[in-house]
Amino acid sequence: MQTPALPLPESRPLVPPALRGVLPVLLAVPALVLFQWALSGSEFASYLLNVMGVNIILAVSLNIVNGMTGQFSIGHAGFMAVGAYIAGYASLQLKEVALSFLPVAASDQVLFTVALLLGGLAAAACGFLVGLPSLRLRGDYLAIVTLGFGEIIRVVVQNTDAFGRALGLSGIPQYASPSMVFFWVFLVVLAARRLAASSHGRSLWSIREDEVAAEAMGVDTTGYKVRAFVFSSFFAGIAGGLFAHFVPIINPGSFTFVRSMEIVVMVVLGGLGSTTGAVIAAIFLTLLPEGMRSLFGALGTEGSLAQRVDQIRMPIYGLLLVVLMLSRPQGLFGTREIWDVLPKWLSRKGGGRA
Amino acid sequence: MAQLLQHLINGLAAGTIYALVALGYTMVYGVLKLINFAHGDVMMVGVYMGYATAFALGREARGSLVGVAAIFAVAMLGCALLGFLFERFAYRPLREKPRLTALITAIGISFALSYGFQLDIGFLPGASPRAFPEIIEPTEWLIIGDRDVVVWNWQVISFLIAVGLMVGLQYLVFSTRFGQAMRAVSWDHRVAALMGIPTDRVIALTFMLSSGLAAGAGLLYAIKDTSVSPLMGLYVGLKAFVAAVIGGIGHVPGAVIGALVLGLVEEFVVGYAASSWRDAVAFGFLILVLLVKPGGLFGRVAAEKV
């Protein structure tokens, strides 16, 4: 399979190397404070931010498997479902429990974190199971197995009494807040970036570029593929757990093949292999329907068209994929990150050709 | 015993329709190594074309043999054209690109079609399912005992058509010049082009054939199911695809046998266990087959080149 060459960033760094390591923290902490301050009033804005954060976590985590390792997985919603259901179920069981040595709010957050981690670990276990067939299957076949696995998870959930069957789980305490969601966004982005730069990450890249050659160079390809799946599905499970704690109800309908494809679109739009690309695409694709809705509202077609935005979203996703593949198959950023690309854009704007 | 026989017949009937859709997947994959994810949705468009034709013909004409032939002809030709357009404008520009890009394009087309058809703007039909008009009057063709086992005429018709098409395709692929060209393109389309085979034309024709087949299969499905909706392609297509993979994708008889096996497995799950587990069992069966034979039942695993 022909793939674009792995870029080795050589351009002048936008951020001095010494600062790079701490940059995420420097950016994230004020951002969190700002969020908490800005959102103290608006319920809708915090809902939107929660959705956006969950989408970012899903896109960045899927990018580890699809982008970095080159194993096309199209069942990510299945892992999200596992996380959502396990964490939601745990929270429902722990609802009445309070850690008496802590204030109520803190106790809730501790229990919430425990539930989230349970969901994440359960999803990681499923990721291990899905990773195993990748020992024998490649390319298209593996994609179909992940798709099948996602669907199987959905059917299993749908037939489990403890998970409310088709009705789903309701009454899950609404613990998730934008700052909590963004804490996890921060964590997943940081983890993905550190992974990409580590020797483990380099092994993943080598599998993406040429599996046979990687194997010949002594890379334990199967081991790394399984690890990528486990790592990625852990975060998908966390995203599911967060999701379960801010929507009023979760049911098997939230985790279909279509949901998986939405995440794939985010990763592909951002560029397979680009963490910042995945983040930006997730933000863009979360805001797009909202933007269209308010645009139609401003145009005065509130009633009919604004309601149709949700319907229009999916065909637009489809067309977007086609147009993107035909015009820019590597996505917005390719395998590069925004700081590899931004200086070039800026200098091109400022002083002619870079 | 009678119950078992009835399940067998129902399973085979369901399997034949999967088989017709699966043949389309397998042909395109055989020639282009592309999983045409939009195949099921092309089928759905074909069903709507048939639906529109049936209404245009009116109640009297649509039941006649000529009417049925016209409905099938319009849907199959319309879809063949659609297949040609997709190949020409969506897949051909990507032929030299990584295979993943074409797969993503196919998924995109699938979503644009299935969700686009749910809109109710202009000629688009809207999301709610519609009843497909009765173009072949269902009659009980064979009754054994006190209605212990019932075979319907549409089951027999579908089965015969599917088997006929399979034999025809097998003949086309292995005994005609076009089939020879198809196999050459499948082997290595660059070398085939050097040998003077009009690669583009062969691939385009394969696409048209597979899309036309999909429309025919979709109409048979609609006759059986009597309900059509924009999302039907997504799930029937997925199942047919699973069938093609079980048989070993790219293998013509494999697709049919895989589809029949899948139809039987599903029917037995519904009959003897619970219908809500049907999809999980279908995919579980797929994973099981792939784990034992990574290339499907009849497929070969190509050696990896370095």
Distance, CA of A277 to chain centre: 12
For residue A12, the 8-state DSSP code is: P
- Residue A79: per-residue pLDDT: 95
Q: From the list B97, B234, B242, which residue is nearest A329 (CB)?
A: B97
Interface check B274 vs A, CB under 8 A: yes
| Residues of chain B with C-beta less than 8 angstroms from the C-beta of A152 | 279-280, 283-284, 287
For residue A4, the 8-state DSSP code is: P
Q: Parse chain B into domains and list their residue ranges.
A: 1-292
Q: From the list A152, A308, A325, which residue is nearest B105 (CB)?
A: A325
- Residue B39: per-residue pLDDT: 93
pLDDT tier for residue A352 given thresholds of 50, 70 and 90: very low
Percent of chain B surpassing pLDDT 90: 25
Of these ranges, A65-79, A87-101, B239-253, the one predicted with the greatest mean pLDDT is A65-79
Q: From the list A151, A216, A261, which residue is nearest B111 (CB)?
A: A261
B contact test, residue of A149, A152, A217, A320 with most B CBs within 10 A = A152
- Residue B202: per-residue pLDDT: 93
Average pLDDT of the residues in A282-304: 73
Q: How far apart are CA A262 and CA A266, in angstroms?
A: 6
Tens-place pLDDT, residues B210-219? 999 999 889 8
Question: How many A/B residue pairs have CB atoms within 8 Å?
Answer: 134
Average pLDDT of the residues in B43-56: 91
Interface check B242 vs A, CB under 8 A: yes
Nearest CA in chain B to A145: B287
Q: How far apart are CA B67 and CA B12, in angstroms?
A: 27
Average pLDDT of the residues in A103-116: 86
- Residue A115: per-residue pLDDT: 93
CB-based contact B30:B182 (threshold 8 Å): yes
> DSSP string covering A262-276, please?
HHHHHHHHH-TT-HH
Average pLDDT of the residues in A79-103: 86
A contact test, residue of B28, B42, B100 with most A CBs within 10 A = B100
CA distance A155 to chain B (A): 6
> Could you tell me the fold of the domain covering B1-292?
ABC transporter involved in vitamin B12 uptake, BtuC (1.10.3470)
Of A183-197, A285-299, B124-138, the least confident: A285-299
Which of A313, A325, A311, A208 is CA-nearest to residue A269? A325
Strands A249-250 and A169-170: antiparallel
- Residue A125: per-residue pLDDT: 95
- Residue A156 phi, psi (nearest 5): -60, -45
- Residue A61: per-residue pLDDT: 96
> DSSP string covering A31-80, please?
HHHHHHHHTSS-HHHHHHHHHHHHHHHHHHHHHIIIIIS------HHHHH
Q: How far apart are CA B26 and CA A120, in angstroms?
A: 38
Of these ranges, A116-125, A253-262, B141-150, the one predicted with the greatest mean pLDDT is A116-125
Average pLDDT of the residues in B58-69: 80
* Mean pLDDT value across chain A: 82
- Residue A21: per-residue pLDDT: 61
Average pLDDT of the residues in A163-169: 82
Whether residue B306 has pLDDT greater than 50: no
Residues 61-100 of B with CB under 8 A from A: 90, 93-94, 96-100
- Residue B152: per-residue pLDDT: 84
Nearest CA in chain B to A73: B100
CB-based contact B259:B16 (threshold 8 Å): yes
- Residue B50: per-residue pLDDT: 92
Average pLDDT of the residues in B133-158: 80
pLDDT tier for residue A77 given thresholds of 50, 70 and 90: very high
Whether residue A305 has pLDDT greater than 90: no
- Residue B210: per-residue pLDDT: 93
Residues 115-134 of B with CB under 8 A from A: 115-116, 118-119, 127
HSE of A312, CA atoms in CB hemisphere, 13 A: 14
Measuring CA to CA, how many Å separate B72 from each of B48, B194, B205? 11, 38, 19
Average pLDDT of the residues in B151-172: 83
Q: B150: which strand partners?
A: B143
- Residue A20: per-residue pLDDT: 65
pLDDT tier for residue B256 given thresholds of 50, 70 and 90: confident
Residue with tokens 């519609």: B130
A contact test, residue of B36, B283, B290, B305 with most A CBs within 10 A = B283
Q: A249: which strand partners?
A: A170
CB-based contact A1:A138 (threshold 8 Å): no
The complex scores an ipTM of: 0.82
Average pLDDT of the residues in A153-172: 85
CB pair distance less than 8 Å for A158 and B276: yes
Whether residue A218 has pLDDT greater than 60: yes
Average pLDDT of the residues in A255-275: 88
The amino acid sitting at A295 is L
pLDDT tier for residue B129 given thresholds of 50, 70 and 90: confident
Which of A260, A250, A227 is CA-nearest to residue A55? A260
Q: How far apart are CA A134 and CA A119, in angstroms?
A: 23
CB pair distance less than 8 Å for B108 and A139: no
Of A291-305, B67-81, B199-213, the least confident: A291-305
Nearest CA in chain A to B126: A311
Radius of gyration of chain A (CA): 21
- Residue A299: per-residue pLDDT: 65
Q: How far apart are CA B40 and CA B47, in angstroms?
A: 11
Q: From the list A1, A133, A141, which residue is nearest B99 (CB)?
A: A1
For residues A245, A249, A252, A253, the Cα torsion angle rounded to the nearest 10 degrees is: -110
B contact test, residue of A147, A206, A322 with most B CBs within 10 A = A322
Nearest CA in chain B to A329: B101
Average pLDDT of the residues in B146-157: 81
Q: Which residue has the higher pLDDT, A32 or B47?
A: B47
CB pair distance less than 8 Å for A326 and B93: yes
Q: From the list B98, B277, B291, which residue is nearest A1 (CB)?
A: B98
Q: From the list A3, A140, A261, which residue is nearest B98 (CB)?
A: A3
CB pair distance less than 8 Å for B105 and A308: no
| Residues of chain A with C-beta less than 8 angstroms from the C-beta of B306 | 210, 212-213, 216
Whether residue B122 has pLDDT greater than 90: no
Contacts of B302 (CB under 8 A, 6+ apart): none
HSE of B95, CA atoms in CB hemisphere, 13 A: 19
Which of B285, B222, B179, B171 is CA-nearest to residue B52? B222
- Residue A353: per-residue pLDDT: 43
CB pair distance less than 8 Å for A145 and B290: yes
* Mean pLDDT value across chain B: 86
Take residue B33 and report the two structure tokens written for it: 């190594």
Tens-place pLDDT, residues A119-141? 999 999 999 988 887 767 777 78
pLDDT tier for residue A87 given thresholds of 50, 70 and 90: very high
Whether residue A313 has pLDDT greater than 80: no
Q: What is the CATH number of domain A43-353?
A: 1.10.3470
For residue A249, the 8-state DSSP code is: E
Average pLDDT of the residues in B96-102: 81
Which of A83, A50, A69 is CA-nearest to residue A225? A69
CB pair distance less than 8 Å for A152 and B111: no
> DSSP string covering A125-168, please?
HHHHHHHGGGGT--HHHHHHHHHHHHHHHHHHHHT-GGGTGGG-
